[in-house]
Amino acid sequence: MGQSGSSACPQVILMGLDSAGKSTLLARMLTGQVVTTSPTIGFNVGTLNLDKKTSLTVWDVGGQKSMRPNWRYYLDDCKALVFVVDSSDRERMPEAQKVLKKVLGEEKLRGVPLMVLANKKDVAKSMTIREVSTQLDLPSYKDRLWEIQACSGLEGLGLHQAFMSVNKLIKRS
Ligand code: G3D
């Protein structure tokens, strides 16, 4: 993926724990195909053309390991945060909750809308969005717009709709 960000196009940050499925879903949105992914080393970026009038530039900044000094640079023009969780991984929900809380504590993200993607909904016994919402303590975020949607990056389910909703959240904020 090249650096195809455009200043006219709203910038969206994609975050989440490693293995949540960020690279898979971004690759799926960008190419319509599942591509082989490897642990995110640099930041991936791509422009999603959702319809004729709607594009979003999405930065996949990885997970907590990417919270290195320069990651905050990417928050400057961030219009929405998309936080991806593996909804089939109950054990790591407390860790995801902590990371999300820390990220949202960033001054630069004050008032920025949040979309949580409850990924891997194709996996049997994955959590419902209600469960994920509770586990991540989403109702406590009263000072920002937030939404949660289920999706499967592997199968491509719910992704287009989720990013259209991200665009709506940006317009409402
Ligand atoms: P990351 O970029 O957040 O670190 P990846 O995560 O995109 O690398 O995905 C981690 C693993 O989860 C990959 O499996 C990938 O195929 C799988 N995965 C991603 N999205 C989904 C999904 O929606 N459903 C299912 N069932 N699996 C998914 P491997 O085996 O390559 O580690």
Digitized pLDDT (tens) for each residue of the chain, 173 residues in all: 434 444 568 899 999 999 999 989 998 998 765 555 555 546 778 889 899 999 998 988 877 665 556 667 778 889 999 999 999 999 999 999 999 999 999 999 999 999 999 999 999 999 999 999 999 999 999 999 999 999 999 999 999 999 999 999 999 99
The pLDDT score that the predictor gives to residue 1 is: 40
Atom of ligand 1 minimally distant from the CA of 153: 23
At which residue do the structure tokens 């993926």 appear?
1
CB 139 within 8 A of CB 107: no
Radius of gyration of the chain (CA): 15
> What pLDDT is attached to residue 97?
96
CA dist list (Å): 23 to 32, 33, 87, 165: 13, 12, 16, 20
Ordered structural domains, the chain, with CATH: 11-172 (3.40.50.300)
- Smallest CA-to-CA distance from 82 within 134, 149, 155 is with 149
The predicted model scores a pTM of 0.91
- For residue 88, the Cα-to-chain-centroid distance in whole angstroms is 16
Handedness of CA 129, 120, 150, 54 (dihedral sign): positive
Residues within a 6 A CB radius of ligand 1: 16, 18-24, 37, 40, 119-120, 122-123, 152-154
pLDDT score for 149:
98
| Cα 52 to Cα 28, 55, 155, 173, distances in angstroms | 19, 8, 24, 22
**For atom 14 of ligand 1, which residue has the closest CA?**
19
> Of all atoms in ligand 1, which is nearest to the CA of residue 38?
8
pLDDT of amino acid 36: 56
CB 12 within 8 A of CB 56: yes
Rounded to 10 degrees, what is the CA torsion of 57, 74, 77, 152? Answer: 40
So what's the pLDDT on residue 35?
58
| Plot region of 39 (φ>0 → left; ψ -120 to 50 → alpha; else → beta) | beta
Tell me the CA distances in angstroms from 55 to 24, 68, 78, 81, one per residue in order: 19, 28, 14, 15
Measured in angstroms, how far is the CA atom of residue 158 from the centroid of ligand 1? 16
Q: What is the pLDDT of residue 4?
A: 44
Q: Roughly what angle, to the nearest 10 degrees, separates helices 22-31 and 159-172?
A: 90
| 89 CA from centroid of ligand 1 (Å) | 12
